[in-house]
């Protein structure tokens, strides 16, 4: 690989905009342009840190059409950074495709360490963090039953991302499959003003949330079998 031809993968804060490294800011400032999911979201971060670099939309609906163009820009010597709306690109966000294509074309990947929701949620859950499996978002329809069946037999702690609208559905499915006494932890709005952590059995968490309007980004940690 050519060390002078680089794609920068830059994690961004998952909530509190202060959760960004000096190196991430410097990398973004030195970019010719920044690939992002939503320019409106990323613009807030750039304004806060006086980063005057063009933003270019790069998301699941256009990445296959545009990835070749961006690869050519990097090969021509452009410094390009990839960010997502929040957290580390490629973790339940766009990123895998351009990383794979970059490697195929001899482009070095410079992935900075930084925020991701699953680690703080796992650590503060009180459940075992020695061994765990990350399931990301479960399918809403096709393939969901199979993935839930795999969770039933998993002995490691399980990390799942879920939307607020589907959280109670997930918990009720887990209650049916795993039993009401299996322990879970729900982390909501990590690092934000209204951060909340709920810990207990599946039945206890369902009773706490049953008549509550749920908002924000959700991470569910499930105790292993």
Q: What is the pLDDT of residue 209?
A: 93
The full DSSP string for 5-44 is EEEEE--B-SS-TT---HHHHHHHHT-SEEEES-HHHHHH
**Residue 173 binned pLDDT confidence (cut-offs 50, 70, 90):** very high
Sign of the four-CA dihedral 41, 188, 214, 158: positive
8-state DSSP, 87:
B
Pairwise CA distance, residues 129 & 112, whole Å: 23
Does residue 216 contact residue 188 with C-beta atoms inside 8 Å? yes
Q: Say yes or no: do domains 2-111 and 118-222 share a fold.
A: no
Distance, first Cα to last Cα, the chain: 43
Pairwise CA distance, residues 144 & 163, whole Å: 15
Domain boundaries, the chain: 2-111, 118-222
Pairwise CA distance, residues 220 & 187, whole Å: 6
We find that the CATH architecture of domain 118-222 is: 2-Layer Sandwich (3.30)
Superfamily of structural domain 2-111? Tetrapyrrole methylase, N-terminal domain (3.40.1010.10)
What does pTM read for this prediction?
0.89
For 176, half-sphere exposure in the C-beta direction (CA atoms, 13 angstrom radius) is 9
Instruction: Please write the tens of the pLDDT for every residue from 116-143.
Output: 999 999 999 999 999 999 999 999 889 8
Instruction: Please write the tens of the pLDDT for every residue from 46-104.
Output: 999 999 999 999 999 999 999 999 999 999 999 999 999 999 999 988 999 999 999 99
């Amino acid at each position: 690989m050519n060390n002078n031809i680089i794609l920068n993968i830059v994690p961004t804060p998952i909530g509190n905009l202060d959760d960004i490294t000096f190196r991430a800011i410097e990398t973004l400032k030195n970019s010719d342009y920044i690939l992002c999911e939503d320019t409106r979201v990323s613009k807030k971060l750039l304004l806060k840190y006086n980063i005057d670099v063009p933003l270019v939309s790069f998301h699941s609906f256009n990445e296959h059409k545009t990835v070749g163009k961006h690869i050519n820009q990097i090969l021509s010597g452009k410094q390009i950074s990839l960010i997502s709306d929040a957290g580390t690109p490629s973790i339940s966000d766009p990123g895998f495709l351009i990383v794979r294509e970059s490697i195929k074309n001899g482009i070095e990947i410079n992935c900075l360490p930084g925020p991701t929701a699953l680690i703080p949620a796992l650590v503060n859950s009180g459940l075992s963090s020695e061994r765990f499996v990350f399931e990301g978002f479960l399918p809403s329809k096709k393939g969901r039953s199979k993935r839930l069946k795999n969770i039933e037999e998993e002995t490691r702690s399980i990390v799942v991302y879920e939307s607020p609208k589907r959280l109670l559905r997930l918990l009720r499915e887990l209650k049916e499959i795993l039993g009401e006494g299996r322990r879970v932890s729900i982390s909501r709005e990590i690092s934000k003003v209204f951060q909340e952590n709920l810990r207990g059995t599946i039945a206890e968490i369902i009773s706490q949330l049953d008549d509550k309007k749920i908002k924000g980004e959700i991470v569910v940690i499930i105790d292993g079998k």
